[in-house]
Amino acid sequence: MFRVSLSFLAVSLLCLGLADIEITTLDPWQELRRIAVGFLTPDVSVLYTFRGAMINTVTFAFCGIAVGVGAGSVLALFFQLTAVRLLCAFVRAIHEIFWAFLFLPVVGLNPMCGVLAIGIPYAGVFAKVYAEILQEADHTPLKGLPAHTGRLSRFFYGVLPVIYSDVKHYTSYRLECALRSSAILGFIGLPTLGFHLETAFREGLYSQTPAMLCGFYLLIASLRLWVKPKLVLAYVAVSFALVSTEINLRWDNITRFLGHDILPWPMRREGFLDGTGEISFPAEQVWEWVVHLVRTEALPGMWNTVVLTQVVLAGSGLFALLLFGTICRHFVSRRRFRGLSHYVLIVLRTTPEYILAYVFLQLWGPSMLPAILAILLHNGAILAYLTGQNANLVRLRIDSSRRKMNCYFFEVLPRVYGQFLAFLFYRWEVMMRESAILGVLGIYTIGFFIDSAIADDKVDKAVFLIFTTALLNMGVDSISQIIRRRLRVSAGTVLGRQQ
Protein backbone atom coordinates (compact mmCIF):
# COMPACT_ATOMS: atom_id res chain seq x y z
CA MET A 1 0.00 0.00 0.00
CA PHE A 2 2.83 2.37 0.91
CA ARG A 3 4.72 1.46 -2.27
CA VAL A 4 1.62 2.09 -4.38
CA SER A 5 1.25 5.55 -2.84
CA LEU A 6 4.91 6.46 -3.37
CA SER A 7 4.84 5.21 -6.95
CA PHE A 8 1.83 7.31 -7.88
CA LEU A 9 3.24 10.32 -6.04
CA ALA A 10 6.52 10.04 -7.97
CA VAL A 11 4.67 9.78 -11.29
CA SER A 12 2.53 12.80 -10.37
CA LEU A 13 5.59 14.89 -9.49
CA LEU A 14 7.15 13.96 -12.82
CA CYS A 15 3.94 14.94 -14.63
CA LEU A 16 3.82 18.23 -12.72
CA GLY A 17 7.25 19.05 -14.12
CA LEU A 18 5.92 18.37 -17.63
CA ALA A 19 2.63 20.26 -17.18
CA ASP A 20 2.02 23.73 -18.56
CA ILE A 21 1.10 25.80 -15.49
CA GLU A 22 2.09 29.22 -16.83
CA ILE A 23 -0.07 32.23 -15.91
CA THR A 24 -0.76 34.08 -19.16
CA THR A 25 -2.98 36.94 -17.98
CA LEU A 26 -1.27 40.30 -17.40
CA ASP A 27 -3.20 41.43 -14.32
CA PRO A 28 -5.26 38.61 -12.77
CA TRP A 29 -5.68 40.49 -9.49
CA GLN A 30 -7.81 43.18 -11.11
CA GLU A 31 -10.19 40.55 -12.44
CA LEU A 32 -10.16 38.82 -9.06
CA ARG A 33 -11.19 42.08 -7.38
CA ARG A 34 -14.11 42.45 -9.80
CA ILE A 35 -15.22 38.90 -9.06
CA ALA A 36 -14.92 39.51 -5.30
CA VAL A 37 -17.01 42.69 -5.54
CA GLY A 38 -19.62 40.81 -7.55
CA PHE A 39 -19.82 38.05 -4.96
CA LEU A 40 -20.27 40.64 -2.20
CA THR A 41 -23.10 42.34 -4.12
CA PRO A 42 -25.20 39.49 -5.58
CA ASP A 43 -28.11 40.33 -7.87
CA VAL A 44 -30.80 38.08 -6.43
CA SER A 45 -33.36 39.20 -9.03
CA VAL A 46 -31.75 36.94 -11.64
CA LEU A 47 -33.15 33.90 -9.83
CA TYR A 48 -36.61 35.01 -10.95
CA THR A 49 -35.46 36.23 -14.35
CA PHE A 50 -33.77 32.91 -15.16
CA ARG A 51 -36.34 30.68 -13.45
CA GLY A 52 -36.96 28.91 -16.74
CA ALA A 53 -33.32 27.82 -16.90
CA MET A 54 -33.53 26.49 -13.35
CA ILE A 55 -36.65 24.50 -14.25
CA ASN A 56 -34.89 23.14 -17.35
CA THR A 57 -31.93 22.11 -15.21
CA VAL A 58 -34.23 20.06 -12.99
CA THR A 59 -36.33 18.56 -15.80
CA PHE A 60 -33.27 17.54 -17.85
CA ALA A 61 -31.84 15.84 -14.77
CA PHE A 62 -35.03 13.92 -13.96
CA CYS A 63 -35.51 12.80 -17.57
CA GLY A 64 -31.86 11.79 -17.89
CA ILE A 65 -31.98 9.84 -14.63
CA ALA A 66 -35.19 8.10 -15.75
CA VAL A 67 -33.56 7.03 -19.03
CA GLY A 68 -30.41 5.93 -17.19
CA VAL A 69 -32.25 3.96 -14.50
CA GLY A 70 -34.54 2.26 -17.00
CA ALA A 71 -31.80 1.21 -19.40
CA GLY A 72 -29.30 0.51 -16.62
CA SER A 73 -31.71 -1.76 -14.75
CA VAL A 74 -32.21 -3.91 -17.84
CA LEU A 75 -28.48 -4.03 -18.63
CA ALA A 76 -27.69 -4.96 -15.01
CA LEU A 77 -29.60 -8.22 -15.45
CA PHE A 78 -27.21 -9.24 -18.25
CA PHE A 79 -24.05 -7.65 -16.85
CA GLN A 80 -22.34 -11.04 -16.58
CA LEU A 81 -22.05 -11.03 -20.39
CA THR A 82 -18.74 -9.64 -21.65
CA ALA A 83 -20.42 -7.71 -24.48
CA VAL A 84 -22.74 -5.94 -22.03
CA ARG A 85 -19.89 -5.07 -19.67
CA LEU A 86 -17.84 -3.61 -22.53
CA LEU A 87 -20.83 -1.65 -23.83
CA CYS A 88 -21.50 -0.17 -20.40
CA ALA A 89 -17.83 0.65 -19.89
CA PHE A 90 -17.73 2.39 -23.26
CA VAL A 91 -20.82 4.57 -22.81
CA ARG A 92 -19.90 5.68 -19.29
CA ALA A 93 -16.33 6.49 -20.38
CA ILE A 94 -17.61 9.37 -22.54
CA HIS A 95 -18.42 12.62 -20.74
CA GLU A 96 -21.92 14.09 -20.96
CA ILE A 97 -20.69 17.12 -22.93
CA PHE A 98 -19.07 14.84 -25.52
CA TRP A 99 -22.35 12.94 -25.83
CA ALA A 100 -24.11 16.27 -26.34
CA PHE A 101 -21.63 17.10 -29.12
CA LEU A 102 -22.55 13.83 -30.83
CA PHE A 103 -26.29 14.42 -30.55
CA LEU A 104 -26.24 18.06 -31.68
CA PRO A 105 -26.06 17.21 -35.42
CA VAL A 106 -28.83 14.64 -35.01
CA VAL A 107 -31.46 16.24 -32.77
CA GLY A 108 -30.29 19.86 -32.72
CA LEU A 109 -30.00 22.19 -29.77
CA ASN A 110 -33.11 21.03 -27.90
CA PRO A 111 -34.01 19.18 -24.68
CA MET A 112 -33.64 15.71 -26.22
CA CYS A 113 -29.94 16.42 -26.73
CA GLY A 114 -29.50 17.14 -23.02
CA VAL A 115 -31.65 14.23 -21.85
CA LEU A 116 -29.79 11.70 -24.00
CA ALA A 117 -26.41 13.20 -23.10
CA ILE A 118 -27.18 12.51 -19.43
CA GLY A 119 -29.18 9.31 -19.80
CA ILE A 120 -26.82 7.24 -21.98
CA PRO A 121 -23.63 7.46 -19.85
CA TYR A 122 -25.71 7.15 -16.70
CA ALA A 123 -27.22 3.93 -18.07
CA GLY A 124 -23.72 2.45 -18.15
CA VAL A 125 -23.03 3.66 -14.62
CA PHE A 126 -26.32 2.34 -13.22
CA ALA A 127 -25.86 -1.01 -14.95
CA LYS A 128 -22.46 -1.50 -13.34
CA VAL A 129 -23.48 -0.35 -9.86
CA TYR A 130 -26.83 -2.15 -9.81
CA ALA A 131 -25.12 -5.36 -10.96
CA GLU A 132 -22.56 -5.03 -8.15
CA ILE A 133 -25.32 -4.40 -5.62
CA LEU A 134 -27.15 -7.51 -6.84
CA GLN A 135 -23.97 -9.56 -6.67
CA GLU A 136 -23.08 -8.46 -3.13
CA ALA A 137 -26.65 -8.68 -1.78
CA ASP A 138 -27.58 -11.19 0.91
CA HIS A 139 -29.42 -14.03 -0.86
CA THR A 140 -30.51 -15.77 2.34
CA PRO A 141 -34.18 -14.62 2.01
CA LEU A 142 -34.42 -16.58 -1.26
CA LYS A 143 -34.03 -19.81 0.71
CA GLY A 144 -37.33 -19.16 2.47
CA LEU A 145 -39.34 -19.01 -0.76
CA PRO A 146 -41.14 -22.07 -2.19
CA ALA A 147 -39.09 -24.15 -4.61
CA HIS A 148 -41.22 -23.41 -7.68
CA THR A 149 -41.47 -19.63 -7.17
CA GLY A 150 -41.19 -17.71 -10.47
CA ARG A 151 -38.20 -15.47 -11.23
CA LEU A 152 -40.28 -12.30 -11.02
CA SER A 153 -41.71 -13.26 -7.64
CA ARG A 154 -38.26 -14.27 -6.37
CA PHE A 155 -36.94 -10.85 -7.33
CA PHE A 156 -39.75 -8.82 -5.76
CA TYR A 157 -39.97 -10.86 -2.54
CA GLY A 158 -36.44 -12.16 -2.06
CA VAL A 159 -34.07 -9.63 -3.69
CA LEU A 160 -35.67 -6.19 -3.98
CA PRO A 161 -36.33 -5.72 -0.23
CA VAL A 162 -32.65 -6.47 0.43
CA ILE A 163 -31.17 -4.14 -2.18
CA TYR A 164 -33.79 -1.37 -2.05
CA SER A 165 -31.93 0.80 0.43
CA ASP A 166 -28.63 0.70 -1.48
CA VAL A 167 -30.36 1.30 -4.81
CA LYS A 168 -32.33 4.23 -3.41
CA HIS A 169 -29.28 5.90 -1.86
CA TYR A 170 -27.11 5.53 -4.93
CA THR A 171 -29.86 6.72 -7.28
CA SER A 172 -30.37 9.76 -5.05
CA TYR A 173 -26.65 10.49 -5.22
CA ARG A 174 -26.76 10.20 -9.01
CA LEU A 175 -29.66 12.67 -9.16
CA GLU A 176 -27.35 15.25 -7.58
CA CYS A 177 -24.71 14.38 -10.19
CA ALA A 178 -27.33 14.69 -12.95
CA LEU A 179 -28.22 18.19 -11.77
CA ARG A 180 -24.55 19.18 -12.03
CA SER A 181 -24.33 17.62 -15.49
CA SER A 182 -27.52 19.35 -16.56
CA ALA A 183 -26.17 22.70 -15.39
CA ILE A 184 -22.86 22.47 -17.26
CA LEU A 185 -24.60 21.41 -20.48
CA GLY A 186 -25.74 25.02 -20.62
CA PHE A 187 -22.14 26.02 -21.35
CA ILE A 188 -22.49 24.54 -24.85
CA GLY A 189 -25.80 26.27 -25.55
CA LEU A 190 -28.55 24.17 -23.96
CA PRO A 191 -31.12 26.26 -22.01
CA THR A 192 -30.03 25.31 -18.50
CA LEU A 193 -28.43 27.31 -15.70
CA GLY A 194 -24.95 26.94 -17.17
CA PHE A 195 -25.94 28.98 -20.23
CA HIS A 196 -26.60 32.06 -18.11
CA LEU A 197 -23.58 31.40 -15.89
CA GLU A 198 -21.33 31.29 -18.95
CA THR A 199 -22.91 34.48 -20.29
CA ALA A 200 -22.46 36.27 -16.96
CA PHE A 201 -18.80 35.26 -16.70
CA ARG A 202 -18.05 36.14 -20.32
CA GLU A 203 -19.68 39.57 -20.07
CA GLY A 204 -18.26 40.35 -16.62
CA LEU A 205 -21.67 40.37 -14.88
CA TYR A 206 -20.16 39.07 -11.67
CA SER A 207 -23.09 40.13 -9.48
CA GLN A 208 -25.30 37.60 -11.25
CA THR A 209 -23.02 34.59 -10.85
CA PRO A 210 -23.12 34.30 -7.03
CA ALA A 211 -26.90 34.52 -7.01
CA MET A 212 -27.22 31.74 -9.59
CA LEU A 213 -24.63 29.59 -7.82
CA CYS A 214 -26.36 30.05 -4.47
CA GLY A 215 -29.66 29.13 -6.08
CA PHE A 216 -28.02 25.98 -7.45
CA TYR A 217 -26.54 25.13 -4.02
CA LEU A 218 -29.95 25.56 -2.39
CA LEU A 219 -31.49 23.34 -5.05
CA ILE A 220 -28.96 20.58 -4.30
CA ALA A 221 -29.30 21.02 -0.53
CA SER A 222 -33.10 20.84 -0.67
CA LEU A 223 -33.29 17.55 -2.58
CA ARG A 224 -33.86 15.53 0.58
CA LEU A 225 -36.82 17.73 1.46
CA TRP A 226 -38.85 17.37 -1.71
CA VAL A 227 -37.51 14.34 -3.60
CA LYS A 228 -39.45 11.51 -1.96
CA PRO A 229 -39.72 7.97 -3.39
CA LYS A 230 -43.51 8.24 -3.65
CA LEU A 231 -43.25 11.45 -5.70
CA VAL A 232 -40.42 10.51 -8.06
CA LEU A 233 -42.67 9.03 -10.76
CA ALA A 234 -44.79 12.18 -10.71
CA TYR A 235 -41.67 14.37 -11.06
CA VAL A 236 -40.45 12.26 -13.98
CA ALA A 237 -43.84 12.41 -15.72
CA VAL A 238 -44.03 16.19 -15.34
CA SER A 239 -40.43 16.56 -16.54
CA PHE A 240 -41.08 14.56 -19.71
CA ALA A 241 -44.27 16.54 -20.29
CA LEU A 242 -42.33 19.80 -20.07
CA VAL A 243 -39.54 18.77 -22.44
CA SER A 244 -41.61 16.76 -24.92
CA THR A 245 -43.25 19.89 -26.35
CA GLU A 246 -39.89 21.16 -27.65
CA ILE A 247 -38.59 17.99 -29.35
CA ASN A 248 -38.11 18.09 -33.11
CA LEU A 249 -36.52 14.83 -34.30
CA ARG A 250 -36.07 14.09 -38.01
CA TRP A 251 -35.17 10.66 -39.31
CA ASP A 252 -33.11 12.02 -42.21
CA ASN A 253 -30.78 13.71 -39.69
CA ILE A 254 -30.16 10.33 -38.05
CA THR A 255 -29.48 8.53 -41.33
CA ARG A 256 -27.21 11.33 -42.59
CA PHE A 257 -25.23 11.33 -39.35
CA LEU A 258 -24.78 7.55 -39.11
CA GLY A 259 -24.36 6.87 -42.82
CA HIS A 260 -22.38 9.90 -43.94
CA ASP A 261 -21.13 12.50 -41.44
CA ILE A 262 -19.19 10.18 -39.13
CA LEU A 263 -17.35 8.44 -41.99
CA PRO A 264 -13.72 9.54 -42.52
CA TRP A 265 -13.31 12.43 -44.93
CA PRO A 266 -11.41 10.41 -47.60
CA MET A 267 -14.48 8.17 -47.94
CA ARG A 268 -16.70 11.20 -48.61
CA ARG A 269 -14.32 13.44 -50.56
CA GLU A 270 -15.06 12.31 -54.14
CA GLY A 271 -18.81 12.34 -53.58
CA PHE A 272 -18.57 15.80 -52.07
CA LEU A 273 -16.48 17.22 -54.92
CA ASP A 274 -18.63 15.85 -57.75
CA GLY A 275 -21.89 16.59 -55.92
CA THR A 276 -23.18 13.01 -55.89
CA GLY A 277 -22.64 12.37 -52.17
CA GLU A 278 -21.45 8.84 -52.91
CA ILE A 279 -19.27 6.91 -50.46
CA SER A 280 -16.05 5.18 -51.51
CA PHE A 281 -13.33 3.34 -49.62
CA PRO A 282 -9.82 4.38 -50.65
CA ALA A 283 -8.05 2.25 -48.05
CA GLU A 284 -4.65 3.91 -48.37
CA GLN A 285 -6.05 7.42 -48.00
CA VAL A 286 -8.22 6.39 -45.05
CA TRP A 287 -5.17 4.89 -43.33
CA GLU A 288 -3.16 8.07 -43.95
CA TRP A 289 -6.06 10.08 -42.50
CA VAL A 290 -6.08 7.92 -39.36
CA VAL A 291 -2.30 8.05 -38.92
CA HIS A 292 -2.20 11.82 -39.39
CA LEU A 293 -5.05 12.35 -36.93
CA VAL A 294 -3.47 10.08 -34.33
CA ARG A 295 -0.05 11.70 -34.70
CA THR A 296 -1.13 15.36 -34.72
CA GLU A 297 -4.17 15.39 -32.41
CA ALA A 298 -5.01 12.13 -30.64
CA LEU A 299 -1.58 11.39 -29.15
CA PRO A 300 -0.79 14.99 -28.05
CA GLY A 301 -4.28 15.34 -26.59
CA MET A 302 -4.14 11.99 -24.79
CA TRP A 303 -0.66 12.74 -23.45
CA ASN A 304 -1.74 16.08 -21.97
CA THR A 305 -4.90 14.48 -20.59
CA VAL A 306 -2.86 11.79 -18.83
CA VAL A 307 -0.37 14.36 -17.49
CA LEU A 308 -3.18 16.51 -16.09
CA THR A 309 -4.98 13.49 -14.63
CA GLN A 310 -1.92 12.18 -12.80
CA VAL A 311 -1.19 15.60 -11.31
CA VAL A 312 -4.73 16.03 -9.99
CA LEU A 313 -4.87 12.42 -8.78
CA ALA A 314 -2.05 13.04 -6.31
CA GLY A 315 -3.17 16.61 -5.62
CA SER A 316 -6.71 15.54 -4.77
CA GLY A 317 -5.37 12.85 -2.46
CA LEU A 318 -3.07 15.24 -0.60
CA PHE A 319 -5.85 17.83 -0.36
CA ALA A 320 -8.19 15.23 1.13
CA LEU A 321 -5.58 14.00 3.62
CA LEU A 322 -5.04 17.57 4.80
CA LEU A 323 -8.72 18.44 5.18
CA PHE A 324 -10.54 15.31 6.30
CA GLY A 325 -9.41 15.96 9.87
CA THR A 326 -11.38 19.23 9.95
CA ILE A 327 -14.65 17.27 9.96
CA CYS A 328 -13.41 14.44 12.19
CA ARG A 329 -14.46 14.42 15.85
CA HIS A 330 -11.06 13.05 16.91
CA PHE A 331 -9.27 16.23 15.83
CA VAL A 332 -11.88 19.00 16.09
CA SER A 333 -13.99 18.98 19.22
CA ARG A 334 -16.09 22.04 18.42
CA ARG A 335 -19.16 21.13 16.43
CA ARG A 336 -19.44 24.62 14.94
CA PHE A 337 -16.01 24.43 13.36
CA ARG A 338 -16.67 20.90 12.10
CA GLY A 339 -19.98 22.08 10.71
CA LEU A 340 -18.35 25.03 8.94
CA SER A 341 -15.71 22.76 7.39
CA HIS A 342 -18.44 20.33 6.41
CA TYR A 343 -20.36 23.04 4.53
CA VAL A 344 -17.20 24.27 2.78
CA LEU A 345 -16.56 20.75 1.51
CA ILE A 346 -20.18 20.44 0.39
CA VAL A 347 -19.92 23.68 -1.61
CA LEU A 348 -16.70 22.54 -3.27
CA ARG A 349 -18.04 19.09 -4.17
CA THR A 350 -21.38 20.52 -5.33
CA THR A 351 -19.78 23.09 -7.64
CA PRO A 352 -19.09 21.38 -10.99
CA GLU A 353 -15.39 21.31 -11.81
CA TYR A 354 -16.26 22.80 -15.21
CA ILE A 355 -17.55 25.97 -13.54
CA LEU A 356 -14.54 26.17 -11.21
CA ALA A 357 -12.18 25.83 -14.18
CA TYR A 358 -14.09 28.51 -16.08
CA VAL A 359 -13.65 30.94 -13.18
CA PHE A 360 -9.93 30.18 -12.82
CA LEU A 361 -9.45 30.60 -16.57
CA GLN A 362 -10.67 34.18 -16.29
CA LEU A 363 -7.92 34.79 -13.75
CA TRP A 364 -4.90 32.92 -15.11
CA GLY A 365 -5.53 32.08 -18.76
CA PRO A 366 -5.79 28.74 -20.59
CA SER A 367 -3.00 26.70 -19.04
CA MET A 368 -3.26 23.51 -17.00
CA LEU A 369 -3.19 25.48 -13.74
CA PRO A 370 -6.94 26.36 -13.73
CA ALA A 371 -7.80 22.75 -14.59
CA ILE A 372 -5.52 21.37 -11.87
CA LEU A 373 -7.08 23.56 -9.19
CA ALA A 374 -10.65 22.96 -10.38
CA ILE A 375 -10.42 19.16 -10.50
CA LEU A 376 -8.31 19.07 -7.33
CA LEU A 377 -10.77 21.13 -5.28
CA HIS A 378 -13.85 19.30 -6.53
CA ASN A 379 -12.54 15.75 -6.13
CA GLY A 380 -10.44 16.56 -3.07
CA ALA A 381 -13.56 17.82 -1.29
CA ILE A 382 -15.41 14.60 -2.15
CA LEU A 383 -12.51 12.47 -0.90
CA ALA A 384 -12.08 14.57 2.26
CA TYR A 385 -15.78 14.23 3.05
CA LEU A 386 -15.80 10.45 2.52
CA THR A 387 -12.58 9.91 4.47
CA GLY A 388 -13.75 12.18 7.29
CA GLN A 389 -16.99 10.23 7.58
CA ASN A 390 -14.96 7.03 7.67
CA ALA A 391 -12.60 8.45 10.32
CA ASN A 392 -15.53 9.34 12.56
CA LEU A 393 -16.29 5.61 12.80
CA VAL A 394 -12.85 4.87 14.25
CA ARG A 395 -12.84 4.12 17.99
CA LEU A 396 -9.66 5.17 19.75
CA ARG A 397 -8.17 3.18 22.60
CA ILE A 398 -8.25 4.62 26.10
CA ASP A 399 -4.46 4.82 26.21
CA SER A 400 -4.12 6.48 22.78
CA SER A 401 -2.02 9.64 22.52
CA ARG A 402 -3.77 12.93 23.19
CA ARG A 403 -1.49 14.81 20.83
CA LYS A 404 -3.37 15.51 17.61
CA MET A 405 -0.34 14.83 15.42
CA ASN A 406 0.31 11.42 16.96
CA CYS A 407 -3.38 10.57 16.86
CA TYR A 408 -3.52 11.47 13.17
CA PHE A 409 -0.45 9.56 11.98
CA PHE A 410 -0.50 6.55 14.32
CA GLU A 411 -4.15 5.98 15.24
CA VAL A 412 -6.59 7.29 12.63
CA LEU A 413 -4.72 7.48 9.32
CA PRO A 414 -3.49 3.84 9.32
CA ARG A 415 -7.06 2.65 9.87
CA VAL A 416 -8.65 4.73 7.11
CA TYR A 417 -5.82 4.82 4.60
CA GLY A 418 -6.76 1.65 2.74
CA GLN A 419 -10.32 2.85 2.28
CA PHE A 420 -9.01 6.29 1.30
CA LEU A 421 -6.92 4.77 -1.50
CA ALA A 422 -9.98 2.85 -2.67
CA PHE A 423 -11.93 6.13 -2.79
CA LEU A 424 -9.06 7.82 -4.64
CA PHE A 425 -8.64 5.14 -7.30
CA TYR A 426 -12.39 4.91 -7.75
CA ARG A 427 -12.31 8.61 -8.69
CA TRP A 428 -9.33 8.15 -11.03
CA GLU A 429 -11.39 7.43 -14.12
CA VAL A 430 -13.72 10.31 -13.23
CA MET A 431 -10.74 12.67 -13.07
CA MET A 432 -9.63 11.42 -16.48
CA ARG A 433 -13.01 12.29 -17.99
CA GLU A 434 -12.94 15.69 -16.31
CA SER A 435 -9.42 16.37 -17.60
CA ALA A 436 -10.54 15.53 -21.13
CA ILE A 437 -13.67 17.69 -21.07
CA LEU A 438 -11.88 20.78 -19.76
CA GLY A 439 -10.18 20.98 -23.15
CA VAL A 440 -13.44 22.52 -24.35
CA LEU A 441 -12.44 25.62 -22.36
CA GLY A 442 -9.15 25.95 -24.25
CA ILE A 443 -6.90 23.78 -22.08
CA TYR A 444 -4.68 21.63 -24.30
CA THR A 445 -6.19 18.21 -23.52
CA ILE A 446 -7.98 15.96 -25.98
CA GLY A 447 -11.21 17.85 -25.40
CA PHE A 448 -9.58 20.86 -27.07
CA PHE A 449 -9.19 18.93 -30.33
CA ILE A 450 -12.72 17.51 -30.08
CA ASP A 451 -14.18 20.98 -29.58
CA SER A 452 -12.12 22.32 -32.50
CA ALA A 453 -13.40 19.51 -34.74
CA ILE A 454 -17.00 20.29 -33.78
CA ALA A 455 -16.42 24.01 -34.40
CA ASP A 456 -15.01 23.21 -37.87
CA ASP A 457 -17.97 20.89 -38.59
CA LYS A 458 -15.63 17.90 -38.89
CA VAL A 459 -17.83 15.34 -37.18
CA ASP A 460 -15.69 12.44 -38.39
CA LYS A 461 -12.65 13.78 -36.54
CA ALA A 462 -14.71 14.47 -33.42
CA VAL A 463 -16.16 10.95 -33.37
CA PHE A 464 -12.71 9.39 -33.84
CA LEU A 465 -11.21 11.48 -31.01
CA ILE A 466 -14.15 10.77 -28.70
CA PHE A 467 -13.70 7.06 -29.42
CA THR A 468 -10.00 7.25 -28.46
CA THR A 469 -10.96 9.14 -25.30
CA ALA A 470 -13.36 6.36 -24.36
CA LEU A 471 -10.67 3.72 -24.88
CA LEU A 472 -8.26 5.72 -22.72
CA ASN A 473 -10.82 6.01 -19.93
CA MET A 474 -11.67 2.31 -20.15
CA GLY A 475 -7.98 1.49 -19.75
CA VAL A 476 -7.65 3.68 -16.67
CA ASP A 477 -10.84 2.19 -15.22
CA SER A 478 -9.45 -1.33 -15.70
CA ILE A 479 -6.19 -0.42 -13.94
CA SER A 480 -8.19 1.20 -11.14
CA GLN A 481 -10.25 -1.96 -10.64
CA ILE A 482 -7.09 -4.09 -10.48
CA ILE A 483 -5.59 -1.82 -7.82
CA ARG A 484 -8.81 -1.80 -5.79
CA ARG A 485 -8.95 -5.60 -5.90
CA ARG A 486 -5.40 -5.75 -4.59
CA LEU A 487 -6.45 -3.37 -1.81
CA ARG A 488 -9.32 -5.80 -1.10
CA VAL A 489 -11.97 -3.09 -1.12
CA SER A 490 -14.93 -3.68 -3.42
CA ALA A 491 -16.47 -0.96 -5.55
CA GLY A 492 -19.79 -1.58 -3.83
CA THR A 493 -18.27 -0.65 -0.48
CA VAL A 494 -16.84 2.53 -1.93
CA LEU A 495 -20.14 3.47 -3.52
CA GLY A 496 -21.99 2.89 -0.31
CA ARG A 497 -19.76 5.42 1.41
CA GLN A 498 -20.71 8.13 -1.08
CA GLN A 499 -23.94 8.69 0.75
* HSE toward the beta carbon, residue 149, CA cutoff 13 A: 16
Distances (CA, A) of 231 to 234, 243, 329, 345: 5, 19, 36, 29
Same domain, 141 and 189: yes
pLDDT in tens, the chain (499 residues): 778 888 899 999 999 999 988 888 777 778 788 888 988 999 999 999 999 999 999 999 999 999 999 999 999 989 999 999 999 999 999 999 999 999 988 888 888 999 999 999 999 999 999 998 888 888 788 777 787 777 788 788 888 888 888 899 999 999 999 999 999 999 998 999 999 999 998 888 899 999 999 999 999 989 989 999 899 999 999 999 988 766 677 788 888 888 888 899 899 888 888 877 788 888 999 999 999 999 999 999 999 999 999 999 999 999 999 999 999 888 888 888 888 998 999 899 999 999 999 889 888 888 999 999 999 999 999 999 989 988 888 888 777 777 888 888 888 888 888 889 888 998 999 999 999 999 999 899 999 999 999 999 899 999 999 999 999 999 998 998 888 888 776 544 445 444 4
Cα–Cα dist 292/424, whole Å: 36
- State pTM to two decimals: 0.89
Give the Cα separation of 445 and 42 in Å (integer). 34
Domain assignment present for 272 = no
Cα dist from 133 to 120, 164, 185, 326, 347, whole Å: 20, 10, 30, 32, 29
Answer with the one of 249, 274, 295 that is the final residue of a domain. 249
Contact call for residues 88 and 128 (beta carbons, < 8 A): yes
Q: What's the confidence (pLDDT) of residue 410?
A: 85
In a domain, 393, yes or no: yes
266 occurs within a structural domain? no
Domain end: 193, 226, 249, which one?
249
159 and 303: one domain? no
Are 211 and 308 in the same domain?
A: no
Distance set, CA 404 to CA 95, 103, 366, 408 (Å): 41, 53, 41, 6
- Asked if residue 148 and residue 296 are part of one domain, the reply reads no
Give domain status of residue 33, yes or no.
no
Please tell me whether residues 13 and 109 are part of one structural domain. no
Task: Report yes or no on 471 lying in a domain.
Answer: yes
> Both 11 and 48 in a single domain?
no
Q: Is residue 204 part of a domain?
A: yes
The DSSP output letter for 403 is S
Rg of the Cα atoms in the chain: 24
**230 and 369 together in one domain:** no
CA dist 59 and 239 (Å) reads: 5
The answer to whether the beta carbons of residues 456 and 475 sit under 8 Å apart is no
The answer on 64 and 6 residing in a single domain is no
Contact present, 428 and 480 (Cβ < 8 Å): yes
Measured between alpha carbons, how far is 74 from 251 in angstroms, rounded to an integer? 26
Other beta carbons within 10 Å of 454:
22
State the CATH number of the domain containing residue 427: 1.10.3720.10
- Residue 204 shares a structural domain with residue 287: no
**Cα(22)–Cα(443) distance, integer angstroms:** 12
- Domain contains 377: yes
Q: Are residues 231 and 341 in the same domain?
A: no
User: Of 249, 269, 294, which residue sits at a domain end?
Assistant: 249
* Residue 77: burial class (beta carbons within 10 Å; 0-12, 13-18, 19+): middle
Structural domain includes residue 156: yes
Residues 245 and 334 in one domain: no
Residue 141: domain span: 42-249
User: How deeply is 226 buried, as exposed, middle or buried, from its count of CB atoms within 10 A (0-12, 13-18, 19+)?
Assistant: exposed
- Say whether both 340 and 454 belong to one domain: yes
Taking the C-alpha atoms of residue 66 and residue 123, their distance in angstroms, rounded to an integer, is 9
For the chain, the domain total comes to 2
